[in-house]
A and B are shown apart, each in its own frame.
Chain A
Amino acid sequence: MKNNERKKISSPLGVAGAVFGLIIGLAMELISAAGPFVESKAAWAHGTGYRQSDKKPISLEFSYSTGEAMSYREAKVFSPRDEKFAFQSGRTDEDGRFAFTPNAAGQWRVVVKDEEGHLAEAKIQVAREFLDDSEKAAEKVAAGSATANTTIIEKTAIPGGMDLVLRSVLGVSLLFNIAAFTSLARRRKGGGS
């Protein structure tokens, strides 16, 4: 009887053990399969594909103060999520344009550098609606019922046109004012001594 009882007890235990083992084993297999899959999707892929993205990109144009395009210059995009590592890097095109597709709301930064010490930095505030409704917004714009301007672009702009003329005149006038004051100060000093 004791032996029988033991068998009776041990056999459900054995079944449970086997099932438990099976579950653990499966889980282990899944984890080991998912682990590298998460780490490197490319290694597990067996092919490539593409489709037209429905996300709206932001396209910027970079130029020098001479009006010349900053063509083929190094460009880096920094996401609001990561300020250190570039979200995207590449070069501007022939006409100084560079486009990227934001995937988070917040302030994005695009930095374009050349090899002679010139740097242009654009800061772009991306609103949540820009990301959520990029498709709908595009349709609305196409239908003429809304503006696409869900982004605020605050670029350290180089003045142009009339503004440039006024600023230049102001600069020259300031220069002569500084000269006049210096001259006056010197004369007084000279007269005193």
Chain B
Amino acid sequence: MHISEGFLSPQVLAAGWVAAGVGTAIGLKKLDPDKIVRVAVFSSVFFLASLINVPIGPSSTHLSLLAPMGLVLGWSVFPAVLVALLLQTVLLQFGGLLVLGVNTVNMALPGLIVYLLFSSRVRRGNAASSFAAGFLAIMLGALGVGTALSLSDPEMAGAAKVVFAAHLPLALVEGAVTFFMAGFLKKAAPDILN
């Protein structure tokens, strides 16, 4: 779900940077020093997850773990995603430096939204909520990518729908993964989901 350099208009790129900047600032402000290691762990997982292919039907994609990251980190998901994407751009040539802002918003905002919507219910052990969080995070991410593309170039509006539909299988997989991870964390480390 990385948008490459050369697709987006300057306005969209700038808006992405503003939103990413605000999110990261709030995330850093709310960051509890004792939870910095937790942020680093999830940032690393996000950084590495993009390298592991998961075959889905004729195509293959990679897990993003947006929902688990959002549910555990809350607002700190912004700095975690920003740093992970920056390292992916510099070290692995994914995405680009100009589009980093937009890509950060597309990945971090869904995590934050599912945190705000579902975190209390997931903490109480509501399995349906964990699945919904995983599913929704991916669909929101795809929506963000589609919106950024079609805002930059109205001709891409059709493609935006394709992006949205193409992410349905991944959303189901991430829903299931989030369901299992939430169940595991509840048992193994209940204090992590706060």
**A interface vs B, CB < 8 Å?**
65-68, 111, 113, 115-121, 156-159, 164, 167-168, 170-172, 174-176, 178-179, 182-183, 186-187, 190
- Provide the residues of chain B in CB contact with A68, threshold 8 Å: 59-60
CB distance from B60 to the nearest CB of A (A): 5
Given contacts A115-B159, A190-B33, contact A168 B40 (CB under 8 A): no
A–B complex contacts, Cβ < 8 Å, 8 sampled: A66-B61, A116-B166, A167-B91, A168-B48, A170-B91, A175-B40, A176-B37, A186-B31
* Interface size of B as a range: 35 or more
Question: Does B137 touch A at the CB level, under 8 Å?
Answer: no
CB–CB B92/A164 < 8 A:
yes
Q: Given A113-B7, A118-B4, A178-B83: A158 and B93 within 8 A (CB)?
A: yes
Task: Give chain B nearest CB distance to A29 CB in angstroms.
Answer: 47
In the complex, A164 Cα to B163 Cα: how many Å?
A: 27
Rank and list the top 5 A-B pairs by shortest CB-CB distance, nearest first. A179-B40, A115-B159, A117-B3, A119-B4, A186-B33
Q: Are B162 and A115 in contact (CB under 8 A)?
A: yes
The closest CB in chain A to the CB of B50 belongs to A65
B156 at the A interface (CB under 8 A): yes
- Asked if B13 lies at the interface with its beta carbon under 8 angstroms from chain A, I say no
Report yes or no: B47 in contact with A187, Cβ–Cβ below 8 A: no
A residues near B107, Cβ cutoff 8 Å: none
Which residues of B pack against A, CB within 8 Å?
Answer: 1-7, 31, 33, 36-37, 39-40, 43-44, 47-48, 50-51, 53, 59-62, 83-84, 87-88, 91-94, 145, 148-149, 156, 158-159, 162-163, 166
Expressed in whole angstroms, the Cα–Cα distance for A176 and B43 within the complex equals 9
User: Hey, which chain A residues are within 8 Å of B43, CB to CB?
Assistant: 175, 179
**Complex Cα–Cα for A186 and B59 (A):** 44
A118-B4, A157-B93 as given contacts; A179 in contact with B162, CB under 8 Å: no
Establish whether residues A66 and B2, one from each chain, have CB atoms under 8 Å apart when the complex forms.
Answer: no
Q: How far is the CA of A36 from the CA of B157 in the complex (A)?
A: 41
